[in-house]
Copies of this chain bind each other. A is one copy, B any other.
Amino acid sequence: MTTMEAPATREIPYVSAVAEAFAQLMREDPTIFIAGEDVALYGSVFGVSRGLLNEFGPQRVVDTPIAESGIMGLGLGAAATGLRPIIDIMFMDFMGVCMDEVVNQIAKMKYMFGGKAKLPLTIHTMAGAGTSMAAQHSQSLEAWFCHVPGLKVVMPSGPYEAKGLMVAAVRDDNPVIVVNTKTILGMKAHVPEELYEIPLGKAHVIREGTNFTIVATGRMVSESLKAAELLSADGLDVEVVDPRTLQPFDTETVVASVRKTHRALIAHEAVRFGGIGAEFAAQIQEEAFDYLDAPVGRVGAPFTPVPFSPVLEKEYMPTADKIAAEVRRILGKQV
**A interface residues with partner B (beta carbon < 8 Å):** 93-97, 99-104, 107-108, 111-112, 134-136, 141, 143-144, 146-150, 247, 249, 270-271, 273-279, 281-282, 285-287, 289-290, 292, 294-298, 303-305, 307, 333, 335
Task: Decide: A282 and B277 in contact? CB cutoff 8 A.
Answer: yes
Task: Decide: A298 and B282 in contact? CB cutoff 8 A.
Answer: yes
Task: Decide: B100 and A100 in contact? CB cutoff 8 A.
Answer: no
Q: Which residue in chain B gives the minimum CB-CB distance to A147? A: B274
A77: min CB distance to chain B, Å? 17
A104, A141, A275: most-surrounded residue (chain B CB, <10 A) = A104
Cβ of A277: which chain B residues have Cβ within 8 Å of it?
282
A97 to B295, CA, bound (A): 39
A290, A305, A333: most-surrounded residue (chain B CB, <10 A) = A305
A134, A282, A289: most-surrounded residue (chain B CB, <10 A) = A282
Cβ of A286: which chain B residues have Cβ within 8 Å of it?
281, 295-298
A123 to B335, CA, bound (A): 45
Cβ of A93: which chain B residues have Cβ within 8 Å of it?
104
Task: Decide: A112 and B273 in contact? CB cutoff 8 A.
Answer: no
Task: Decide: A304 and B149 in contact? CB cutoff 8 A.
Answer: yes
A138: min CB distance to chain B, Å? 11
A292 to B292, CA, bound (A): 12
Task: Decide: A335 and B99 in contact? CB cutoff 8 A.
Answer: no
A333 to B287, CA, bound (A): 11
Task: Decide: B136 and A143 in contact? CB cutoff 8 A.
Answer: no
7 additional A-B pairs beyond A111-B135, A247-B273, A249-B273, beta carbons within 8 Å, are A96-B99, A108-B136, A143-B147, A144-B147, A273-B279, A274-B279, A282-B282
A57 to B258, CA, bound (A): 62
A331: min CB distance to chain B, Å? 13
Cβ of A134: which chain B residues have Cβ within 8 Å of it?
112
